[in-house]
Amino acid sequence: MEASNKTARQLYQEVKANPTRKRFGFGRTPALINIDLQKAYTCVGEFVTAYQTDPKQLDYVNQLAAAFRAKGLPVVWTYVAYMDSGEDAGVWGTRTNTPDSLQNIKVGSRRAEFDDKLDIDRKRDVIVNKRMASAFHETNLGSVFNHHGVDTVVVTGGSTSGCVRATVVDSLSRCYRTIVAEECVADKHESPHFANLYDMALKYADVLPVAEVIAFMEQYRPAN
């Protein structure tokens, strides 16, 4: 194992400055997945579980969502929320039991609500109550994406080291070209944030500036 005294931030910045991997690239039909942009994780000051990385994150996500909608492409918003019993959080909900514990984000609670700054089309967009880290795990995204012929997934949301990473691994494992819009993913601590951007960039995804994703979407013409 190669040793290193660099921080995760330094290592990610080196990879970003000198990419050694060819891109996966965009395919014919992209979809957008926005992960867990709910108050428990976005309302800094109100919930101790919340965090912010780029202060413009939600603006960028709104821009991306509008761009995908304008081209008739799927826009997915996931959130986590659980039964009163918390049994649908399974083992994951067994290590702590405080108001801030994962399994205590209850269906219908304020912690489960999407951030008020988000522009969500509740009729048109695909809204998914997921329970586990990956947006694909035991949800209907697989069949919805098959129905639309999706071959490319753009990911935003949080946390970078949790649900974003898990979704990206599943996305590539299902053979979608996978793209992370860098300014649109966030985490509580910088080391896991950058460590996971590093892993994703090297193994599973193209980590791109959001401006580049938006530029692609603007010139995108739907496949026929």
Residues 183 and 54 sit within 8 Å (Cβ to Cβ) = yes
Residue type, 7: T
* Residue among 1, 6, 8 at smallest CA distance from 197: 8
**Which two three-digit tokens encode residue 50?**
């919340």
In the complex, minimum distance from the CB of residue 174 to its own copies, in angstroms, rounded to a whole number = 5
In the complex, minimum distance from the CB of residue 93 to its own copies, in angstroms, rounded to a whole number = 9
Residues 124 and 69 sit within 8 Å (Cβ to Cβ) = yes
| Closer Cβ to its own copies, 116 or 175, answer by number | 175
* Residue among 222, 178, 174, 216 at smallest CA distance from 200: 178
| Closer Cβ to its own copies, 90 or 99, answer by number | 90
| Closer Cβ to its own copies, 63 or 167, answer by number | 167
| Closer Cβ to its own copies, 74 or 111, answer by number | 74
Active-site annotation holder among 43, 163, 175, 184? 163
Residues 180 and 212 sit within 8 Å (Cβ to Cβ) = no
**Which two three-digit tokens encode residue 127?**
């809204």
In the complex, minimum distance from the CB of residue 29 to its own copies, in angstroms, rounded to a whole number = 9
Is the peptide bond between 159 and the residue preceding it cis, with omega within 30 degrees of 0?
yes
| Closer Cβ to its own copies, 17 or 91, answer by number | 91
In the complex, minimum distance from the CB of residue 146 to its own copies, in angstroms, rounded to a whole number = 4
In the complex, minimum distance from the CB of residue 153 to its own copies, in angstroms, rounded to a whole number = 10
Considering just the CA atoms, what is the radius of gyration of the chain in Å?
17
Return the bridge partners of 35, or none: 78, 157
* Residue among 149, 165, 146, 191 at smallest CA distance from 35: 165
Helix (H, G, I), strand (E, B) or coil at 64: helix
184 is a catalytic site residue: no
So which residues are the catalytic ones? 163
